[in-house]
C-alpha cells in the first residue's frame, strides 16, 4: 500500500463514505454519501485503488435491474489508514478554525 500524494477534502469525503460501508460501496453511493460530483469521486476512487487502499469488483447479481455496479472496498490496511487520514484531516481543519483570528463584524471596532 502506497501513501497518498495528496489528501483533499474530497478524498476525505470519499474515504468517509467507504468507511461507512465496510462490505462494499458502489460508485453512485459514494457520490451520494460524499456529496461530491462523479467527476470528483471516480478519480479519487481510482487513485485509492492504484495506491492499494481499496479493491474493486463488478457486481455479480444478474437479477437486479439496471446497469452493473462496481463495488469498492477498503483493504485491511486501507481501512486503518483511511480512519487515521480522516481523523487527522478533521483535526487539522478544526485546529485551523480554532486558531483563526475572529472576524470583526461590521460596526464593531477592535
DSSP per residue, 24-86? -EEHHHHHHHHT--HHHHHHHHHHHHHTTSEEEEE---SSSSSSPPEEEEE-HHHHHHHHHHH
Cβ contacts of 41 within 8 Å, gap of 6 or more: 10, 14, 27, 30, 31, 34
Assess whether pLDDT exceeds 80 at residue 94: yes
Starting at the edge strand that comes first in sequence, how are the strands of the sheet with 54-58 ordered? 25-26, 70-74, 54-58
C-beta of residue 27 within 8 angstroms of C-beta of residue 35? no
Assess whether pLDDT exceeds 70 at residue 107: no
Domains (range + CATH), the chain: 9-90 (1.10.10.10)
pTM of the complete model beyond 0.75: yes
Give the pLDDT confidence of 14-49 residue by residue, as tens digits. 999 999 999 999 999 999 999 999 999 999 999 999
Give the pLDDT confidence of 49-62 residue by residue, as tens digits. 999 999 999 988 77
Amino acid at each position: 500500500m502506497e501513501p497518498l500524494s495528496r489528501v483533499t477534502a474530497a478524498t476525505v469525503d470519499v474515504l468517509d463514505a467507504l468507511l461507512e460501508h465496510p462490505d462494499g460501496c458502489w460508485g453512485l453511493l459514494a457520490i451520494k454519501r460524499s456529496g461530491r460530483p462523479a467527476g470528483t469521486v471516480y478519480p479519487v476512487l481510482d487513485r485509492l485503488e492504484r495506491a492499494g487502499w481499496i479493491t474493486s469488483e463488478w457486481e455479480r447479481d444478474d437479477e437486479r435491474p439496471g446497469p452493473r455496479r462496481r463495488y469498492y472496498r477498503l483493504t485491511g490496511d486501507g481501512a486503518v489508514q483511511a480512519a487515521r487520514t480522516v481523523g487527522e484531516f478533521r483535526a487539522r481543519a478544526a485546529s485551523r478554525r480554532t486558531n483563526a483570528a475572529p472576524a470583526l463584524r461590521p460596526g464593531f471596532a477592535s
